[in-house]
Structure 1
Amino acid sequence: MIALEIHICDQRRSYTARFATEDQALTFLTVRGMTHAFHEIKAEPVDWAAFPRLYDYLYPECEHGMRGDCYGPQHYYMTDDERRHAGW
């Protein structure tokens, strides 16, 4: 079973959606991707070994081959001191 928090952006409300298969979850997310945000529920973690395509959809790799937020060429967020040193 896959459980995800679905947030309807323009209505400012969320609900939990449950899916029996990875294909169901991916179809739902693809169709609703322009108007909804999706999050894994910490209390009901997804078995990523069983659902690798869903993992790739929710946590895509950046151009540096890393997952999560990417803040540019260095990948990680720079502190104020690092930005000043870099001339930004």
Structure 2
Amino acid sequence: MNRITYAGFTDKSIRLLRNNQYTSNVESGSTRTEIKHWVELFFGVKVIAMNSHRLSGKGKRMGPAMGHTMHYRRMIITLQPGYSIPTLRKKST
């Protein structure tokens, strides 16, 4: 479970919550099947689809040398209807 770094909250990811899709950033070396297994095991949900794309790190200048931050992968996880990730569930009023 240490491969999933954090849940991404952007305008698009908040819109995707309506479709039962959750966005999270993971380490760039993780595979789709590995992440699917950990999400199903840890949260007790059923994953029906996963989309991913690789994001490159930002450039950082350190004096005359140019470096960059680490690359990472963003996963969009689609759950079966009726399932939700408990930490991101809406509050009922």
Greater strand share, structure number: 2
Task: Name which structure has the greater RCO, CA cutoff 8 Å, separation 6+.
Answer: 2
TM-score normalised by structure 2 residue count: 0.24
